[in-house]
Amino acid sequence: MKIRWFLLAIIPFLFCHNATVAGPDGDVYLAVSHSIVENGTLNILPETLPLEVPTQITRTHHAPIHQNIGGVLFILPASLLAVGTHIGAIGIQGMPPRFYDIGYHEGLWLGCVTYLLAMLSCLMIYRVARLNHGKASVIAALLFCVFGGPLFLYTVFYPCNTNLPAAFLASLLLYTLHFSNKQNKFSWVLVGAVFGLGTFVRLEFAVWLVPLVWAVYSSDRPENNPWQEISKRIFWVGIGAMSFVLPGILIKQIIFGQMGNSYSIQMDLANLSKSYLMLFGARNGLFVFWPVLLIALLGYVVSLRKNSPIYHAMFVLLLFLSIICGTIIFWNGELGHSLGQRWFLVGFPCFVLFLSRLFDLSKRHFYWLLTVCVACTIWALFLWAAYGVKWPFPGDVSGFLMPVHVSRMFHVLATYFPMFCKQILLTAIFPKHVDLFWLWPLFSLVILAGLKLGSFIDPEKRFGFGLASIAMVALVTNMFLMRAGSRGEQAYQKVVAQNPQATFVARNYEVNFEILSSMVDSMAFFMELGDYEHARYKKDKALSFLSVEAPDQLDNFRKSCGALELRKELGWYRLFPEQVHFELLNWYQSALADKEKNRQPEGIGRRFLY
């Protein structure tokens, strides 16, 4: 119970910063959520269309969405609650102007949802870890993995994302595997439903199939006919998983009229040649931004043979996750909200358990290990201050560029250390929303009431309650999707009627931004590393793809390549800091005009301190 009170005590610290709708791909998730609430459709075509460029639509007349939008299930409650509280706020006089903005209410509720997910994740991991590890070890590991890892950052500053729900579902799956009654078939249905929901939210959640297979095979089974029992478990797990696999298929059919995913186009085994940078690189390296996670892995390596079998399964899970992330373009980008590889949030419970084991094994050197973890946590917070948030810099300075080499990170931190300290302290001491302090006890009471209500539920019936809740979510989701396609077509016809001069181009990929910018960024990444062979390979592959899917964009891509080559000739250290190919094309046009007049091409419009 003490850890619950601790988590409740940090509510003011979390909510005084958390009234934003920011997050990786948050604009898309919010657009889908708003479209569902307002129009009952997945079609996020804007009401007013641009006339200067054709609007991209799919063969089913929907706006192409490359993201896996199942995570909107965790954003919808905030959108719905924001409508209600905003209506109530209109009748309250004398509040700050932002209090009457529905977006502000949505940000507050998103903060509430993300905090609840993070808190429940910690509680479930704590319960699982305490089965094998000491209390002090588990609490220390949990705190360091939260504040020195990704959970704290994405809870407080990026609430509108689907990585945190994936971490919550991973914790729930692990908790269910350890505490549910394995002799009850409905427990296996629940396990399958949680796994299916996880893949519905984030595709990389599929790596949890490894511990799931281990649990199906290793749990108690009769000696006379074990394979019959295993077959039954697979069947019930499949039944549960299909409750969310089906909606995932329906969404693809509704939006695109076919199966597939835009991320699959960007997956490439050639990226594995530089995949070590995904873990140890200065751009987005997992262990560079969050070194405490590397220390956590030592908890698995030390006394390897004495590990519990589930720990071997979790290590294989992380290995598969590394391979998947290493083949995709995601880790190449300039932040892109991918600070420290947010995909690894799905493996967050594994790192906590490994670090708990390391603290248990290091009882003689407990405080030395504690000191190292504190240093790693401070390092992670300062890196976030440097690269994860754009502080209000003087003039038109935008912040810091991500370097290619880790040594330059030390240079940035050493040079601007006083500024980082000042900004972090100011943020902590002077909260952004201190005038709404009355909301803190309100949120605390709601959460405390929820915890108290949960304590009255018979532990044996909690899993049944969880299964009923997930089944209800699956039922409502499937019922909504059955008519979402026709409603999306109606939304398209309405937009066409309101924009008779607009033109459309049929594509099954979001080419203008997602595909083109990623392709250009991939080329720039390899060119910065001096790997021109892979850069040419990326260029040829992109040209081949565009010639089939978007031939009208071939010229823009070739110009983008020319811009990168020109910047390389000019000795630019970073070739694509804008991260948007439109800005790169504008610069290229201006640079060519300067060259014709024998002038030195100017830098980009935004300035960076480093």
Question: Residue 13's pLDDT is what?
Answer: 54
Cβ atoms of 356 and 137 closer than 8 Å:
yes
Cβ atoms of 193 and 56 closer than 8 Å:
no
Which 8-state DSSP code applies to residue 505? E
Last residue of a domain, one of 440, 460, 475: 440
Give Cβ neighbours of residue 99 (< 8 Å, ≥ 6 apart): 89, 92, 436
What does the pLDDT look like over 334-388, one tens digit per residue? 444 456 678 899 999 999 999 999 999 998 898 999 999 999 999 988 887 777 6
Does residue 477 lie within any of the structural domains?
A: no
Last residue of a domain, one of 440, 472, 496: 440
Does residue 101 lie within any of the structural domains?
A: yes
Q: How confident is the model at residue 494 (pLDDT cuts 50, 70, 90)?
A: very high
CA atoms of 489 and 494, how far apart (whole Å): 9
Does residue 32 lie within any of the structural domains?
A: yes
Is residue 50 domain-shared with residue 151, that is, in the same domain?
yes
Dihedrals phi, psi of 538, to nearest 5 degrees? -65, -40
Percentage of the chain exceeding pLDDT 90: 32
Does residue 449 lie within any of the structural domains?
A: no
> Which residue, among 100, 87, 105, 97, has the nearest Cα to 20 in the 3D structure?
105
- Span 55-59, average pLDDT: 87
Q: What percent of the chain is helix, strand and coil (3-state, nearest 5)?
A: 70, 0, 25
531: exposed, middle or buried (Cβ count in 10 Å: 0-12, 13-18, 19+) = middle
> Which residue, among 337, 299, 343, has the nearest Cα to 318 in the 3D structure?
343
Is residue 16 domain-shared with residue 138, that is, in the same domain?
yes
Whose structure tokens read 């192409």?
64
What's this model's pTM, rounded to 2 decimal places?
A: 0.90
- The tokens describing 34, both together, are 């708003």
The greatest distance separating any two alpha carbons of the chain, rounded to the nearest whole angstrom, comes to 87
Last residue of a domain, one of 403, 421, 440: 440
Q: How confident is the model at residue 576 (pLDDT cuts 50, 70, 90)?
A: confident
Q: How confident is the model at residue 560 (pLDDT cuts 50, 70, 90)?
A: very high
> Which residue, among 88, 31, 59, has the nearest Cα to 442 in the 3D structure?
88
- Span 228-237, average pLDDT: 91
Q: How confident is the model at residue 607 (pLDDT cuts 50, 70, 90)?
A: low
Q: How confident is the model at residue 260 (pLDDT cuts 50, 70, 90)?
A: low
Average pLDDT, the chain: 83
Does residue 494 lie within any of the structural domains?
A: no
Does residue 484 lie within any of the structural domains?
A: no
Query: What are the DSSP calls for 358-383, one per residue?
Result: HHHHTSTTHHHHHHHHHHHHHHHHHH
Is residue 527 domain-shared with residue 434, that is, in the same domain?
no
CA atoms of 309 and 213, how far apart (whole Å): 12
Whose structure tokens read 């009627």?
497
What domain range includes position 533?
A: 513-608
Which 8-state DSSP code applies to residue 601? P
Q: Does residue 330 have a pLDDT over 70? A: no
Is residue 393 domain-shared with residue 533, that is, in the same domain?
no
Is residue 187 domain-shared with residue 334, that is, in the same domain?
yes
Which 8-state DSSP code applies to residue 94? S
Does residue 286 lie within any of the structural domains?
A: yes
